[in-house]
Chains A and B, each alone.
Chain A
Amino acid sequence: MNAVAFVVIAIFALSAALAAATLGKLMHAALMFAVALVGVAALFFLLGAEFVGLVLVFVYVGAVAVLIVFTILLTRRDLDVDRGFNWTGVIVAILVFVGLSVAIFKTPFLASATPQTTMITVRQIGEALMTNYVWPLQCVGVLLTAALIGALVLVMEEKR
């Protein structure tokens, strides 16, 4: 694992995520969200899971970010500037981070473990998906169909 690349990518992803969480303008936050997910995908590449990284880029940057931008454009009436900031949420988030860090550093196995990076090929993933994971795959297909039909029904014009 390349330590320098890891530090650079981690700082990049985390600062983009922080910008997405704190920027005032909604559109800037949505674009920063896409940048942060590119950073997370780069971390997946660093861990040797290229396929998951690519899927993350396709799904999040290609689909979800575009969906968020369209939603912002469709709900633009109230001047898309966020009013107010709830400081209780900041305190809770910092407490959660401190708690998780203490838990990670206190576990002797986790503090020293370095992940191994042998590659996993797309062929292996495809074989697993088509043998052991066929039923979960079909269920996800049904779930996606149901979710898309549900989303369409939700945004259909109400008849009066």
Chain B
Amino acid sequence: MFLIVSAALFSVGLLAALSRRHAIFILIGIEMMLAAANLNFIAFWRFAPQPAQPIGVMVAIFAIAIAAAEAAVGLAMVIAVYRHYRTTDVDQLDRLKG
């Protein structure tokens, strides 16, 4: 059952990342997909015969830390792009040369 919830959360994140044009929405969708993956790690860790090694917990904690780093860099890039182009609409960012 946890896996179904996790799959639904992943799909919602994918929806946000694919269908919105605003860069911040895309980052929110990516964070939601990462949270769904963490939920899967914890659920599969709980399926193992107990007491198990805390591998799932470790992977989830490291994934959260890396997701925080990714969010910081991604939002900094949104701000930098906005300063340059005056927009955060990803459909209008179609030049490689500044």
Residues on A with C-beta less than 8 A from B15 are: 21-22, 89-90, 93
Q: How large is the interface on B (under 10, 10 to 19, 20 to 34, 35 or more residues)?
A: 35 or more
Cβ B50 vs Cβ A52 within 8 A: no
Which residues of chain A have C-beta atoms less than 8 A from B66's C-beta? Answer: 140, 143
Asked whether, in the complex, the Cβ of A29 is within 8 Å of the Cβ of B73, the reply is no
- Complex contact A47–B42 (CB within 8 A): yes
Q: In the bound complex, do residue A52 and residue B42 qualify as a contact, i.e. CB atoms below 8 Å apart?
A: yes
Question: Which residues does chain A contribute within 8 Å of B27, judged by CB atoms?
Answer: 68
* Secondary structure call for the A interface: helix
Once the chains are docked, how many angstroms separate the CA of A98 from the CA of B79? Answer: 36
In the bound complex, how far is the Cα of B16 from the Cα of A47, in angstroms?
27
Q: Which of B34-81 contact A (CB under 8 A)?
A: 35-36, 38-39, 42-43, 45-47, 50-51, 53-54, 56-58, 60-62, 64-73, 75-80
With a CB–CB cut-off of 8 A, which chain A residues contact B3?
Answer: 104, 110
Complex contact B77–A154 (CB within 8 A): yes
Number of A-B contacts (CB under 8 A): 221
User: In the assembled complex, which residues on chain B have CB atoms less than 8 Å from the CB atom of A83?
Assistant: 21, 89
Main secondary structure of the interface of B (DSSP, over half): helix
**Which residues of chain B are within 8 angstroms of A2 by Cβ–Cβ distance?**
none
Q: Is A4 an interface residue (CB 8 A)?
A: no
Query: What 1/0 mask marks residues of chain A from 61 to 74 whose CB sits below 8 Å from any chain B CB?
Result: 00110011011101
Q: Given the complex of chains A and B, what is the CA–CA distance between A94 and B14 in angstroms?
A: 9
- Contact status of A67 and B72, CB under 8 A, knowing A86-B20, A89-B14: yes
Which residues from A are CB-within-8-Å of B46?
47-48, 115-117
Contacts of A59 in B (CB 8 A): 64-65, 67-68
Extra pairs beyond A21-B12, A59-B67 (9, CB < 8 Å): A21-B13, A26-B22, A36-B32, A40-B39, A67-B75, A77-B82, A78-B88, A117-B46, A147-B73
Closest 6 A/B residue pairs (Cβ): A89-B19, A89-B18, A115-B46, A147-B69, A21-B16, A97-B11
